[in-house]
Amino acid sequence: MLKPEEILEPTDVDVGNEGFSLILFNDSHHDFDEVVMQIMKATGYGYDKSEAITLEAHNKGRAVVLSGSIDRCLKAQSILEEIGLRTSIEVNV
């Protein structure tokens, strides 16, 4: 179970805001629920939203986790990468 201090403030996925998007790539090394829980920890999203992101990455090969400032993306990225998930940060054009 996640501790409240481990969860960042929730945000909406809104590609194009503040210049950067955190991308999650699909892989075959992590259990689906493990990825969902890590997204919840990194973003503060609820289960349903985190599951939708995981499913998109699984089906399409990649998914936007969140968009915002570079600091916000880097913080969430470091949490996702704690368990070895593959991510990147892209500049929104």
Burial of 35 (0-12, 13-18, 19+ CB in 10 A): buried
Model pLDDT, residue 18: 67
Q: For 54-80, how does the pLDDT look when each residue is reduced to its tens digit (9 = 90+)? A: 999 999 999 999 999 999 999 999 999
CATH of domain 11-91: 3.30.1390.10
Q: For 12-40, how does the pLDDT look when each residue is reduced to its tens digit (9 = 90+)? A: 444 444 699 999 999 889 999 999 999 99
Model pLDDT, residue 78: 98
Where exactly are the structural domains of the chain?
11-91
Return the exposure string of 42-75: e unless at least 16 CB atoms fall within 10 Å of the residue's CB, then b: bbbbeeebbbebbebbeeeeebbbbbbeeebbee
